[in-house]
Amino acid sequence: MLHVVDITRSVVERQARHVDPLTGLADRSALELALASAWRRLGSGSGSGRPITLVFCDLDRFKVLNDTFGHATGDAVLAQIAARLRAVVGGAGEVGRFGGDEFLVLLDDDVDWKPVCRAILAAVAEPVVARGRPVTVTASLGIARADTAEGGPGRLLRQADAALYEAKSAGRGRWHVFQSTSVGGRVQADLAARVAALEGELRIDYLTGIGNKRALDEHLEFVALESRRTGSGFVIAFVDGDRFGAINKSHGQDAGDLVVQTMARVLAGEIRSGDAVFRRGGDEFVVILRDASPEGAQRWLERVREVLAGCGALDGRVPCPITISAGLAAADPADRENPLTVMDRADGAMRRAKAEGGNRISVE
């Protein structure tokens, strides 16, 4: 039993730190959060007003190195390259491991990206001694920049990936800056498949900047493990906007997107530290309230409902207040109930709230 508890604690602590265990860099989740945060600053005008820069770094022919010298040598190379990237970037931005031999660098908006990228290429190209064996690798860089929040941060990631493809096609060991005309028809099919794979792995909803359904599923498992370890319960709130289809139809998709973004902003702004909110799809959100009672969760949701109703005309583009229907379900750790079942109960409570006229909260 002690061994199981230790494993559970290790899982909880590793997820909380958002650190890649091989390299010690930020992991994919931390990178997505940093990108979403930078995007929100860009949209709010709170940054410097200069473009943000995303660099997608991929080691060239790394699979050949792995196949030739083995995965242990490959891991040693990745760890040393990661240390070099951290030293080069320093305080100029965020660097992390995206997965495999891919790294992302998000540069602060007041940083000149060209000297940093030159230093990255030079640092990676220096010979590496891995497990007593000298190894030389190079990197290709895809660079994308944004000075407005149009299209969401997912668009910037796709653009950097497209630029990376072009850098590799041009001979590797170099960088390429994304331009809207730089992706020719010959790479469209490959790029579309790559984009689909990337989006399937992401955990951030790029319309709202909060966690998506994939992140929700992972967080549910984490919360359930923690609940069983500590003996504390949790409450799931299922929140759905009222009349969302009518708003989209009457005022257009941009107005609908604004409603969704406002709901996400209010929900994320009202939660406590340690709680989490996710967009499940459309105008549906799931909030996980740890160590909470149904009564406390209901009071919290009433406050959220009042804040949303006070959003009013939303900059004049949606001539109506935002109202929500919500359902609450509590999990008792002693029951060891599947967290997906708890979420289904919260969903059922939300549907009852809608059936009773909407703009209300139902407790399961």
The residues that are catalytic are: 101
Encoded tokens for 55: 């660099």
Round to whole Å and give the CA distance between 94 and 96.
7
Element (H, E) at 129: strand 128-130
Residues 340 and 220 sit within 8 Å (Cβ to Cβ): yes
CA atoms within 13 A on the CB side of 272: 10
- Residue labelled with tokens 């967080």: 219
Round to whole Å and give the CA distance between 185 and 161.
16
Provide the 3-class DSSP secondary structure of residue 200. helix
- Strand-pairing partners, residue 237, are 287, 328
Round to whole Å and give the CA distance between 228 and 332.
9
Q: Rounded to a whole number, what is the distance in angstroms from the first to the last CA of the chain?
A: 33
Strand 324-331's sheet: what is its strand order? 276-281, 284-290, 234-241, 324-331, 361-363
Task: Identify which of 135, 253, 250, 157 has the alpha carbon closest to the alpha carbon of residue 202.
Answer: 157
Provide the 3-class DSSP secondary structure of residue 315. coil
Residues 90 and 20 sit within 8 Å (Cβ to Cβ): no
Task: Identify which of 237, 344, 360, 244 has the alpha carbon closest to the alpha carbon of residue 302.
Answer: 360
How is the chain split among helix, strand and coil, in percent rounded to 5?
A: 50, 20, 25
- Spatial CB neighbours of 165, under 8 Å, sequence gap ≥ 6: 142, 183, 187, 190, 191, 194
